[in-house]
Amino acid sequence: MAWSMPHSPDPSPMGPLGHLSRAAWLVLGFVFVALGLIGALLPLMPTTIFLILAAGCFARSSPRLEAWLLDHPRFGPTLRAWREDGAIGPRAKIMACSGIALGYALFWWGARPSVAIDLIVGVVMAGCAAFIVSRPSPRLADSNRSEEGSI
């Protein structure tokens, strides 16, 4: 019988490639935070969706950074409302749907698409707007907390 070293368990719960995967999630989280910050400065680029994606990436790589995002005074209430209930506030719904409408108008004006492309883009954008409008509003306790944080 050949001698072999005893099997030592891998300390990483994700296995030997877990560190690589964790690092990739971390880098992706930072990329999404950067895109979210750019979106906070540019009028037509979204912010919240990138921060939701960043929180998901950080949940897989860095609980500390995930907690930082979820506890952020400006963005935290929105991220928590989405995570807990899939909720979008009324003001955010209006802003998102207005952005979709403006984006469609700019697309139509700038691209002068054929009728088929025009209809396809219009239906997709209307579907996105319908999804946004169909989401519940945040619970009262969360919206009070977000109003206090923005004062």
pLDDT tens digits along 102-122: 999 999 999 999 999 999 999
Residue 36 neighbours by CB under 8 Å, 6+ apart: 47, 48, 50, 51, 54, 75
Q: pLDDT tens, position by position, for the chain (151 residues)?
A: 443 333 434 444 555 555 669 999 999 999 999 999 999 898 778 899 999 999 999 999 999 999 999 999 999 999 999 999 999 999 999 989 998 999 999 999 999 999 999 999 999 999 999 999 999 999 875 444 444 444 3
Q: What is the CA radius of gyration of the chain?
A: 21
Average of per-residue pLDDT values in the chain:
84
